[in-house]
Structure 1
Amino acid sequence: MIDWSLNTGWWLVSWGLALFAAYAALDLSRGVLSAHRPTAMRALAGAALALATGLCAAHFIAMAHSGLPAVMHFHAWSVFGTLVLAYIGSLLGIGLAVDRLRRPARGIAGAVVLGTFLCAVPLLLLGAVELHPGLHWHDAGPWLAGAVPLVAGVALAWYVFSRCRRPATRHTLAWQALAAVPLGTAIVAADFLVTRWVAVPWDAVSPAAAGTVSGDTLFALATLAVPSLIALLLLSSILESQFKAALRRAREELQIAAQTDPLTGLPNRAMFETWLLRATTRADRQSQRVALLFINLDGLKTVNESLGQAAGDAVLCEMGKRLRALTGTRDIVARAGGDEFLMVLEGHPDPSQAMAMAARLMKALNEPCVVEQRELTMSCSVGVAMYPDHGDQAKLIPHAAAAMHSAKRNGGGNQVMFDPRMVAGAREQVDLLRDLRRAIQHHELELYYQPKVHAPSGQITGAEALMRWHHPQRGMVGPHIFIPLAEKFGLINALGNWLIEDVCKQIRTWRDGGLRMRVAINLSVHQLRQEDLVDRIVDALHRHRVEPGLLTCEITESAAMEDTRTTLQVIERLSAAGVHLSIDDFGTGYSSLSYLRQLAAEELKIDRSFVMDLESSADARAIVDAVVKLAQALGLKVVAEGVETEAQQKILRTLGCDELQGFLFAKPMSAKALTLWAIKDEGPSALDFRPSLFDDSLSTPLH
């Protein structure tokens, strides 16, 4: 009998290939932990292929130079079947062993499976040899006992590999190379144990036959094709790992960019709110307080307008650096946007400590900074809110902002602690705005009309339409409350459109009842910017069959002067349409006489502030007298509003006013009440309605 001889050089080659296959299999195995199932399955298949082909190739390299007298031939299908079994065993063993990283109990099962196949594959490959007479098997006991250290070696390999992490770094690759040593050694040791278990008869031959492949061919495949295949698998694993690392870095950079202010490098508001939630959660758990500082730079707009946006950005960057330098280990600072910053203080600060911190940062930000060779000195306003004293986490930033706005209203450059009264009015405004939107949709608004009186005769010449709001809970809400709210939050155009429509409808109703009444409406500066304002007015007049001269559009002097070119165009178009035009609140603005000459207005309306002082102020009388003479010189009528006493009426009539309006004659009333007064003389005073005002068979209304 002839035992296998040991060729040390080729056993070392076999061991090297086994180490290479083990390293590649371990590298591919890192992808098995991927949360993406197709990626994990692809990685498992590649790792099993590298280990199975490396196991078989190591055997053929060792067998090719075993010192046997003849070249051996192998049954091709047996070799292929053994390779398939090696692949299946590798799949199962690696799958269980890698799962050790999640569930350690499965690691031993994986090691047992791999150890079993490490011994089974060489046995099956020896059984595939075409040999006559066949192999002689020694006593199996001593050789099978070697399977125990094989399993231990495989288990050690996967234990060392478990120290790796999925991202490939120098540290993890070193652990991976270290883990490949016991696994590759176990492959060669298993082959060595199996080959030492058998002997070859001295007269044995291995004839070439159909369906066999020579050992030299398998040796060539083992030394050339298999290393190339394993190298390709390893290269694909490395490239995929690098691609994932690059993708991961890109995602991290995108996440950082999404959470960072690009100008100052500070966290943005979204990131700050996440940190604030964590800080308040910790504070709740530890029964502590958190302070929030809302910081606004005073005068940054002036810097931007005078020196340019780049100078303003430089100031913001410098202020951001100073704020970051002031933060402690548990403090957080962020840029909220524009010229606003946020800072949260942890560590159970009391209000005095929070205000002291506000004073420190105000002092730091007030230090001069040099921008474009100019020395600039900035100031800031700081609002402070405490958690949980001043509300829950969601209200902390709005409350600190309210305190900051209070500091700005007081001149800026100071710090203010939040007080609940700061947001009481704001909350009421929010509720009122919500109700106003609903009122427009549900037609809760109503028009009241205050008559205008012809000064020489005391007869009514028309009326001014005034909005009233019947609030379900608040009762009657005056226009001085909801009109500014509508202008601030973009509802004034909707209100104005409703006003135009309802007034034209009411004029038509009066005309159908035989009453010819001119009605005045007020146009705000926001309405004057509507491109379709004139078209809306003309369309409403046309649909309701109203003569344009029965509608008066009152434009305040300040609105007329705000955008003179736009206003002039609107007034010219309205005048061309035949609409009666009036300049309201005259005397309170800054009218240019040259511009006033260009306006196609037909009357001036003196502001009530001058009328109120007529009895006590010579200056007021002088101003009214000057306005009347100016209007007469320009061919305009003069209307005085706010007339409340007989003395005021006499003075205005003496000065030459054409029309009067005020509580002396009548308060604003509903359309129904005004109709009854005009037709049946059921009103607050004995004013006359000439037939010409409501009887089409007679003359036209007074002008």
Structure 2
Amino acid sequence: MTPEPQPTITDNIELLALLDALRSVILYFDRWGTVIHGNRRACQWRPLEQLVGRTFVELAQHWHQPEQTQREMMQVVRTGIPSWGVKERSGKGADCRWFSVDKIPTLNKLGEVTGVMLVINDISESVVKERALEESDARYKAFIANSADAIWCYEVYPPVDTTLSPQLQVEQILKRAILVECNETLARFFGVTHTRDVIGLPLSRSGSLSSYQDVRAFIDNGYRLENKEFSRVDRTGMCGYMQSSAIGVVENGLLMRAWGITRDITDQRTHTDRMEYLANHDSLTLLPNRTLLYSTMEQTIANAKNDQLMALMIIDLDRFKEINDTLGHRAGDSVLQQVGPRLEGEMVELEGLVARLGGDEFAVFLPRVRNAHQALVLGHRFIDSLGEPFEIETFRTEVTASIGISMFPDQGRDVSTLMRYADVAMYHAKRALKGVAVYDPEFDPHSPTRLEIMGALRRAIRESQLELYFQPKIDLLTHRVTGFEGLLRWHHPEIGTVPPVDFIPIVEKSNLIYPLTCWVMAESIRQCAIWRREGHDITVAMNLSASNVTDERLLAELRQLLTQYDLPGHCLEMELTESTIMNDPERALTALKKIAALGVHLSIDDFGTGYSSLAYLKRLPVGTLKIDKSFVMDMLIDEQDEIIVNSTINLAHNLGLSVVAEGVESQEIYQRLQDHKCDSAQGFLIARPMPAADATRWLLNSQWSGGLP
């Protein structure tokens, strides 16, 4: 008899309805590998009539290796063993899709395999995410592996309860933390090649977060550590510097692990230390410089005990310039390099700092002395030590010095005061040829009143408290006025008129000299331009200090002012003293030539009171000598003064220079100067210095403006 036909999946309406409700694509193949049925999701792919009777190879031509899928289906039919979750794909490039494919055998009532059910799920999105995660993980591992920084992770097992006291947490972390992950950079820090040689080490061996203080700081900072520096000695005994940062992973109140980075900052630290050293030390002598001296003094003073005495010495080498000029700067540098060791050699029993302030000036700071006498005795030992011959290549030379001492707290309680007082004492020692001197108020030419005046001078420049007075100069041949000398006056609102002698010497040693000179220069040029526009053919002279001569800013300011007021350069005269020029002859010569190139007339003021070389004066672009009034005023009663005046006039004329005599206060002196063929005169006989308005009226009404007196 014919066997009763077995029911198939297509005969089960309830099962078909269930398959249609699923989101998966489901294809039912018979045992020969052709489609018998497809659920609703499969029919969205292709209509059922295009599915039935076709193999998977025919249906999935864009599938990657569809033949392999077909073979696996037939394998399931033969063995009855299902295949689950095989990852397969279709398409290429942007059209590529990924699927998870289950191949499930279908059985009849007799347990015989009648076909295979193909369940297909689109897993493209999860595959993309998985791939991105894998790539990220690969990049992360590559970053860790190739990082120049050591990257590490310590597992804390069992985890530490973060509610415990910090002390107990520190103890438990140090006992429980084990290195579980790191890169080869960390392994090299330990002197090994592979990470496996260090994995499993306890935290106490790492050098990062390895001390009680480090772990306590890590806890107190919310389980973070930022840029913690520490030193480390490697297996060769070399000391290096490391910097670590770490962050803890806390879950449910338990510290689970800590991730961190450690980098070798030895080169950076060495460079920083080198830069700091150079910033605080003199490059020639390698001694501490002014910056380090000041900071050391400030720190010591801030921490001083009530009965602590300190001493500051300023040491200036005498006639050091002669060594440079005679033997050359290389020899001078050699002497300077030998000064520091000699000074330090005398301080074996005393704590102190030797510094170079600049040039041939040194300082010694003694933070603890018994009294001023002890510092004075040490100063004399310094003098004796520096007096020993200096060996310079094949030469031997001797150096003397002048030393000034100031005491804390008796004489000064801050660095600025101590420095100034020591400087005053040093100059007193130099002038008095004493070698060493302790500060005494009697040495100080700058009284409190003068210091107060100095502080107010800057305000005086801004608030027009300054004024130029003008004193005329007369041509002794024509008896007519040829020009004025501008003389500075300061009208202080509280103490009245301040004589120049009370503030100019102070200003010349400060940074106020430049703005003050610019003000005088501007007023001189402005007033001269006014007079010349009014028809007066005259010049105006002004004084120039030593610091102005070599100040490179002055030339640009002078050029700008002459242009601004449209004044020819020959209408302005600049007067310089001999000492001003001889402070730095070569630089002065260069600077004066540039000024003269603008047409400005240059003259030597107070001639005869300095120590200038006539041979040098011959090289200067000057046109006039002014004889100091100390010779002129007494020339009628002192034969030597008259000889000096007459000789100076003859000398100047032989050098092609004109002569102005200052201090002419009588008609007799005026006449005698005419007899000696002096060119010009200036003094009270002609007129006293006067404000610009009075000088203008004088020009209009004076007999000196039109002929014989």
Using structure 1 for the length normalisation, give the TM-score: 0.55
For 2:154, give the aligned amino acid.
Answer: A
Partner of 1:323: 343
Q: Does 1:669 align with 2:684?
A: no
The one of 92, 95, 106 aligned to 2:169: 106
The one of 414, 432, 439 aligned to 2:460: 439
Distance 1:290 1:245, change over 3 A: same
- Matches of 2:604 and 2:387 in 1, distance apart? 47
For 2:599, give the aligned amino acid.
Answer: L
Partner of 2:381: 360
Q: Deviations over 1:546-565 (max 9, x none)?
A: x998x463655848996667
Distance 1:540 1:623, change over 3 A: farther
Q: Deviations over 1:179-238 (max 9, x none)?
A: xxxxxxxxxxxxxxxxxxxxxxxxxxxxxxxxxxxxxxxxxxxxxxxxxxxxxx99x98x
Distance 1:540 1:324, change over 3 A: closer
Partner of 2:496: 475
Indicate if the aligned counterparts of 1:292 and 1:385 stay in contact, CA closer than 8 A.
yes
**Equivalent residues in 2 for 1:243-262 (5 A)?**
243-244=264-265, 251-252=272-273, 255-256=276-277, 258-261=279-282
Distance 1:427 1:371, change over 3 A: farther
The one of 413, 416, 432 aligned to 1:410: 432
Q: What residue ranges of structure 2 are gaps of 5+ in the alignment?
A: 1-148, 179-201, 215-229, 238-257
Indicate if the aligned counterparts of 2:474 and 2:704 stay in contact, CA closer than 8 A.
no
Indicate if the aligned counterparts of 1:568 and 1:599 stay in contact, CA closer than 8 A.
yes
Shift of residue 585, structure 1, vs aligned partner: 5.3
Q: Deviations over 1:425-465 (max 9, x none)?
A: 18666654444433333332223233445658877666444
Indicate if the aligned counterparts of 2:357 and 2:363 stay in contact, CA closer than 8 A.
no
The one of 515, 518, 525 aligned to 2:538: 518
The one of 375, 398, 422 aligned to 2:396: 375
Indicate if the aligned counterparts of 2:287 and 2:356 stay in contact, CA closer than 8 A.
no
Partner of 2:519: 495
Q: Give the RMSD, CA atoms, in angstroms.
A: 5.3
For 2:153, give the aligned amino acid.
Answer: G
For 1:90, give the aligned amino acid.
Answer: Y
Indicate if the aligned counterparts of 2:529 and 2:566 stay in contact, CA closer than 8 A.
no
Shift of residue 378, structure 1, vs aligned partner: 3.1
Q: Does 1:396 align with 2:418?
A: yes
**Equivalent residues in 2 for 1:201-280 (5 A)?**
240=262, 243-244=264-265, 251-252=272-273, 255-256=276-277, 258-261=279-282, 263-280=284-301
Indicate if the aligned counterparts of 2:177 and 2:203 stay in contact, CA closer than 8 A.
no
Q: What residue ranges of structure 1 are gaps of 5+ in the alignment?
A: 1-41, 49-88, 116-153, 174-232, 682-686, 694-700
- Matches of 1:446 and 1:385 in 2, distance apart? 38
Indicate if the aligned counterparts of 1:554 and 1:584 stay in contact, CA closer than 8 A.
no
Partner of 2:157: 90
Partner of 2:356: 336
**Equivalent residues in 2 for 1:31-46 (5 A)?**
46=153
Indicate if the aligned counterparts of 1:448 and 1:668 stay in contact, CA closer than 8 A.
yes
Q: Deviations over 1:356-386 (max 9, x none)?
A: 2222333333333433243333333322222
Partner of 1:124: none
Distance 1:605 1:341, change over 3 A: closer
SS of 1:542's equivalent in the other structure is coil
Distance 1:484 1:491, change over 3 A: farther
The one of 618, 625, 634 aligned to 1:613: 634
Indicate if the aligned counterparts of 2:158 and 2:176 stay in contact, CA closer than 8 A.
no
- Matches of 1:310 and 1:111 in 2, distance apart? 60
- Matches of 2:620 and 2:270 in 1, distance apart? 67
Partner of 1:574: 599
Indicate if the aligned counterparts of 1:327 and 1:333 stay in contact, CA closer than 8 A.
no
Shift of residue 302, structure 1, vs aligned partner: 3.6
- Matches of 1:161 and 1:557 in 2, distance apart? 72
- Matches of 1:340 and 1:631 in 2, distance apart? 39
For 1:503, give the aligned amino acid.
Answer: Q
Q: Does 1:688 align with 2:703?
A: yes
- Matches of 2:441 and 2:616 in 1, distance apart? 51
The percentage of aligned residue pairs carrying the same residue is 28
Distance 1:541 1:630, change over 3 A: farther
Partner of 1:448: 469
Shift of residue 494, structure 1, vs aligned partner: 0.2
Higher strand share: 2
Paired residue total: 488
- Matches of 1:256 and 1:599 in 2, distance apart? 46
Shift of residue 391, structure 1, vs aligned partner: 1.5
Q: Which has the higher contact order (CA 8 A, sep 6+)?
A: 1
Using structure 2 for the length normalisation, give the TM-score: 0.55
- Matches of 1:556 and 1:164 in 2, distance apart? 68
SS of 2:403's equivalent in the other structure is strand
Higher helix share: 1
Partner of 1:386: 407
Distance 1:499 1:370, change over 3 A: same
SS of 1:342's equivalent in the other structure is strand
